[in-house]
């Protein structure tokens, strides 16, 4: 559902970028000659677009190679440990998206951990397996660090208290109750069901949030392009 919800905005953004480049590279050069021959006093926005058009037309190959190199470097950087951790931290800070990332990782943590505990796998080994199932590096590192603390004799809920910025305090409190009553696997299953339901609801609503934002972006882009092209024509007339 998360991936499916992202396809629509990604396609729209790529289309916007493609149309913008096409306008700057093919449409604006034809208008530049008209403006220059008439000696019109062009607005700042129009001059910026014209300069961008000239730059892209003269250096399109360098621009393309530079863009490809940048993409490759970013991909390689994000595959490193530091890159993954940085992206994970950034993702958690994004409004709305950060909340969804938290719920997804908490649901996955609770569901997998409860299943492994019910299967009789030792707690430390279970946490190491759980860490491999989590997509966010901050959660993965927290679970691995907590497993080391538990190995030293620390309680399960107490081992996670240092990471209450990503493991919500309510989750830690419920885990503590489950640990004391000996029903941690059942408690984790209930938590997993809760966060799975929450995530499902969030993803049902996210398209209604993304669409107006995309409409605003499209409207702003079209408005800027229209103003930059029409305003000098209007002043000449």
Half-sphere exposure of 166 (CA within 13 A, CB side): 27
SS3 string, 173-203, reads HHHHHHHHHCCHHHHHHHHHHHHHHHHHHHH
Count of CB atoms situated within 10 Å of the CB of 81: 9
Confidence (pTM): 0.70
Handedness of CA 20, 24, 27, 31 (dihedral sign): positive
As to burial, measured by CB atoms within 10 angstroms (0-12 exposed, 13-18 middle, 19+ buried), residue 90 is: exposed
The answer to whether 233 and 34 are in contact (CB under 8 A) is: no
Q: What local confidence, expressed as pLDDT, does residue 112 receive?
A: 93
Nearest Cα to 203, choosing from 110, 94, 106, 99?
Answer: 99
Give pLDDT tens digits along the chain (237 positions): 667 777 777 888 888 888 877 777 777 777 777 766 666 667 777 777 777 777 777 877 887 888 899 989 888 887 887 888 888 888 888 887 888 889 999 999 999 999 999 888 888 999 999 999 998 888 998 999 999 988 888 888 888 888 888 888 888 899 899 888 888 889 999 999 999 998 888 877 776 777 788 788 888 888 887 777 777 777 666
């Amino acid at each position: 559902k998360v991936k499916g919800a992202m396809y629509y905005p990604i396609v729209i953004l790529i289309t916007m970028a493609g149309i913008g480049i096409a306008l700057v590279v093919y449409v604006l050069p034809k208008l530049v000659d008209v403006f220059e021959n008439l000696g019109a006093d062009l607005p700042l926005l129009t001059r910026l677009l014209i300069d961008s058009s000239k730059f892209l037309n003269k250096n399109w190959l360098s621009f393309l190679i530079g863009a490809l190199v940048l993409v490759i470097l970013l991909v390689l950087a994000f595959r490193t440990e530091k890159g993954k951790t940085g992206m994970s931290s950034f993702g958690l800070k994004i409004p709305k998206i950060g909340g969804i990332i938290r719920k997804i990782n908490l649901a996955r943590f609770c569901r997998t951990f409860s299943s492994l505990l019910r299967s009789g796998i030792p707690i430390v080994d279970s946490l190491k397996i759980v860490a491999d199932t989590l997509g966010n590096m901050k959660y993965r590192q927290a679970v691995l660090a907590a497993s080391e603390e538990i190995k030293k004799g620390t309680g399960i809920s107490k081992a996670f208290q240092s990471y209450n910025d990503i493991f919500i305090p309510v989750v830690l409190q419920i885990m503590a109750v489950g640990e004391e009553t000996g029903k941690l696997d059942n408690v984790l299953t209930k938590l997993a069901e809760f966060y799975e339901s929450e995530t499902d609801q969030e993803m049902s609503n996210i398209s209604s949030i993304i669409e107006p934002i995309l409409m605003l972006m499209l409207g702003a882009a079209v408005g800027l392009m229209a103003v930059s092209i029409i305003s000098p024509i209007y002043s000449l007339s």
